[in-house]
Each structure stands twice: as structure tokens, then as C-alpha cells.
Amino acid sequence: MSRAVPAGVVAAVRRSVSMVCDPEYPEVTVAELGILERVSSSDDGSTVRIELVPTMLGCPALDVIARDVTDAARAACAGADISIEVAFVDNPVWTPDRIAPSAVSFLAREYSVAVRRRSATASCPICGGTALEHRSDFGPTPCRSVEWCPQCRNPVEVVGRVEFPAAMGAAQSRPVPA
Amino acid sequence: MGETEPVTAIEPAGHPAETPGARELVLALADDELCIGQNLGWWIAVGPFLEEDLALTSISQDELGHARALYGLLGDDIDAMAYGREPHEYLCAHITELPCHDWAETLVRHFLYDTAESVRWDALADSSWESLAAVARRAFAEERSHLRHATGLLDRLLRTDAGIAYLLPLFDQLAPMACELFDAPSGCSDEALVAAGVMSSELGNQRARWQDIVGDALAPAGYQPQWPVADPEAAASGGRAGRRSPHFAALHAEMVEVLSIDPSARW
């Protein structure tokens, strides 16, 4: 395992794992969702390391994503004697801002799922209304909350929660990155 | 599975994780999360209304994820740590083992636990044990929605006579019990952990801060919990010292039900 990673392998692995799709949204890649953080080779060159950012620590799809990413990386360096290391990292913290704009419109169009990013107003994927009303922080998956569109009178699933000030002390003492 | 795995060292000597008591503290917090997560999962499909069903089980999933992240700081075989230890090797506080199959009980415990947790995560967010700090910050970000859920319901219910009649007696019972969340595991000196920068404040100070938060939330209902005096002797024979409550056996049996049928089962 002391051989250096051949030039081009890291790039090939990056290309390959970028195309791995999310189990929840099988047409959207982990790269577009901002789950893929970094592909690099170890200092001694024997290992390609892939860092992933979990959307939520308790996301039940993490193991599936890690497995699919590992398989894709292995396929990209088929035949080469290189070990693959896949790790979920706690830093940076995933936020909906990591989702690529192309994926935001795809999720709205194909899944009727809205995305709330800090950089843009969340809008209703059905009618485009922007006056969404918060209903519940807890939707069908841990990363989706439930809102309501008063314009077209539909419930809307939103990736990313509204940031109210927390009701009490502890949570207010520190700015939180999500 | 089935055999006790020692907590393996994955950090170099001299690392903050090697501070005496640091691993025991993380193990205690992980065990709290595991039991709370497992207990909240009971509410799947039986919550009092649909949104509550989703909320409690989403929170359950979050807490199990936090347990996994914390066990992951201590070693690679997370399943062995979560499921494969002897009962006396778990360090959870007894309040986390309570089934709370009454929704009002679950709400009160949820409020007490999640406020306590937010204080604990805050004390670890700048830890000199960097990977612990990263988990704490990550978990703390997810904690906000738990707090919002607990405090939102509590606020509303304590404005009703029925809410007051149901909930305040439960605080009489559960608030003193929840204080154990701030007891140190046996052999863990929180002064040493603060000195090494693993935690930013001692457990007694964290407990005081938490009591203030709980007190402030209940003051509008004209109620203050009767806080017990911190008792090192009681702590030395409690959940943090490896003594399990009568509820643990059934909870643990449920957790390992699949693994005991098929020890090779994967998540």
C-alpha cells in the first residue's frame, strides 16, 4: 500500500462519486445536495479519502450513501491497489444553502419540495407563492419541515427550518449554523 | 455483539480525550441519548395526533443519531458500544430509562431532557477535544427544533386548567429526577475536565443554569420545582455509577431484539 495514488485517480474518483444519487431523491446527486465535501489522497498516497457532510446526524440514509459512495469510488479505481476511506465529517455543518440551484428547482418541480436557503426566499413549489406559513418542524423526514401555502392552500414540505428565536434561554446564547 | 468491548483509544496520548473522566462523560451522554431515542421511538403511530407522532419519532431519530456520533468518538464498533455492554456498564441517568407511555409524562421529560441537553452541548461546543466540540455544535443546531417543540407545547398547555392539573404534578416527580443528568460518572472529575478545556463549565454550574431555564419556563404557571440538594453519595450509587433502574432491562431487550435473532444483522 505504499504506492502513490496515480495522477488522475483522485479526479476519476471525484467524478465517479459526484454522480452518486441520494437514496431519498434518486435523480439528485450527493454533490448537488452538498453532501459531498472533499475528495483527496492521503499524504503517503495509498488512500483516497472522501469526506461527506451528513444533512442530519440521525439521517437513516447515511449508511446507504456511504456504501454507494464507496462502491462508486472502487469502480473508479478498478484494478489499482488503492484503499478507499469514506468518512462523515462534523465540520462543516450541512445547511440547505449547500444545495445547488439546479437541484433546488428540480426538487420543486419533481418532488414538490421547497428549499429554504438563507440566500433566497422559499417559495411554494406548486404556485410560486412566497408567503409560506410554518406548521411543524417535523415532516416526513428529519430534514423536512411542514409549511402551508395560503395562496394555493396546499401543505408544502420544506428542506430547512424557519429560524424563529428559540423560546428560551439556552438556545439563544450562541449563534447556530443551521 | 454480546461481548463487552473495551472503549478503545483512538486519540494520541496527551490529547484532551485522555483527560481522566473524559471518555466516561461522553459515554454517559451517549447512553442518555440512546435510551431517550429508544423510548421516544415508542410513540411511532400512537402519538395523540399525527404531527406529534412525527415530531416525537423525528426527535427520536435525532437523539439516536447523536448517540451514534458520540459513541463514534470512543471507538469504531458503535453497535457493540450501544448494544453489547453489560447493564452495569451503561452510565445513563435513570430519567432516560423511564418508559413514559403517558403523553404528558413524555412531554415533561422531553422538556426537562432537551433543556438539559442544550446546556450540556453549549458547555462542550468549544471543547479542547475538537471532534467532541464538532459533534456538540452539530447536535446543538438540531436541538433547537426539539426545544421549540417542547417549549411550544408546554407554554400553550400551561395556560389551561387541564394542562396545569396534568403537568405540574409530573414536574414534582420528574424535575428532581432529571438533576441526575448533571451528575458526573464515577471516577470522573469535572474540575479536571474544565481545567483541560474538555468542558467550559462544571456540571454543578450547568445544573444551576438549567434549573434557571426550567424555573423561568414554569414561573408563569406560578410554580417552582423543588430542587434537591446535589448529593455526591446518591450520585455514587445512581445511573451514572452503573446502577440500572428497573426499566432498563425491558428497554435494552427491545433494543437488541433484532440483533439477538440475527447477530450479523446490519443497520
Q: What is the CATH number of the domain that holds B251?
A: 1.20.1260.10
Q: Do A57 and B142 touch (CB under 8 A)?
A: yes
Distance from CA of B213 to the nearest CA of A (A): 6
Q: Does A135 touch chain B (CB under 8 A)?
A: yes
* Mean pLDDT, residues B39-66: 94
Whether residue B84 lies inside any domain: the answer is yes
Tell me the three cell numbers of residue B242: 452503573
Residue B12 pLDDT level (bands cut at 50, 70, 90): low
Residue A164 resides in a domain: no
* Same domain, yes or no: A59 and A111: no
For residue B107, being part of any structural domain is answered with yes
Whether residue A173 is contained in a domain is answered as no
Residue B224 lies in a domain: yes
CA dihedral B19, B25, B27, B33 (to 10 degrees): -150
Write out pLDDT tens, residues B152-191: 999 999 999 999 999 999 999 999 999 999 999 988 888 9
Assess whether A31 and A72 both reside in one domain. yes
Assess whether A123 and A77 both reside in one domain.
no
Identify the pLDDT of residue B9: 46
Please answer yes or no on whether A63 and B267 come within 8 Å at the CB atom: yes
Do A102 and A151 lie in a common domain? yes
Portion of chain A with pLDDT greater than 90, in percent: 57
Residue with cell 446518591: B234
In a domain? residue A146: yes
Confidence label for B142 from pLDDT (cuts 50, 70 and 90): confident
pLDDT value for B187 = 83
Domain limits at A56?
Answer: 9-88
In a domain, A174, yes or no: no
State yes or no: pLDDT of A163 exceeds 70.
no
Confidence at residue A178, expressed as pLDDT on a 0 to 100 scale = 38
Report yes or no: B204 and B182 within 8 Å, Cβ to Cβ. yes
Mean pLDDT across the stretch A107-123? Answer: 90
pLDDT band for position B231 (cuts 50, 70, 90): confident
Say yes or no for a CB contact (<8 Å) between A177 and B139: no
In a domain, A168, yes or no: no
- Residue B241 within a domain: yes
- How many structural domains does chain A have? 2
Domain contains B5: no
CATH number at residue A55: 3.30.300.130
Long-range contacts of B165-173 (CB under 8 A, 24+ apart): B166/B104, B167/B104, B167/B107, B167/B108, B168/B218, B168/B221, B168/B223, B170/B104, B170/B105, B170/B108, B171/B108, B171/B218, B171/B223, B171/B225, B172/B225, B172/B226
* Number of domain units in chain B: 1
Q: Establish if A149 belongs to a structural domain.
A: yes
Confidence of residue A162 (pLDDT cuts 50, 70, 90): low
* In-domain check, residue A44: yes
- Structure confidence at residue B10 (pLDDT): 53
| Number of C-beta neighbours around residue B49 at 10 A | 9
Of A90, A93, A176, which to mutate for an interface test with B (greatest number of B Cβ within 10 Å)?
A90
Chain B partners within 8 Å of A146 (Cβ): 51
- The listed range with the strongest mean pLDDT (A107-121, B5-19, B205-219) is B205-219
Answer yes or no: is B197 within a domain. yes
> Is B135 within 8 Å of A90 when comparing Cβ atoms?
yes
- The interface predicted TM-score of the complex, written ipTM, equals 0.76
- List the single residue in B with minimal CA-CA distance to A93: B138
Is A26 a domain residue? Answer: yes
Identify the residue with better confidence: B264 or B244.
B244
* pLDDT for the residue A4: 65
Structural domain including B24 reads 16-261
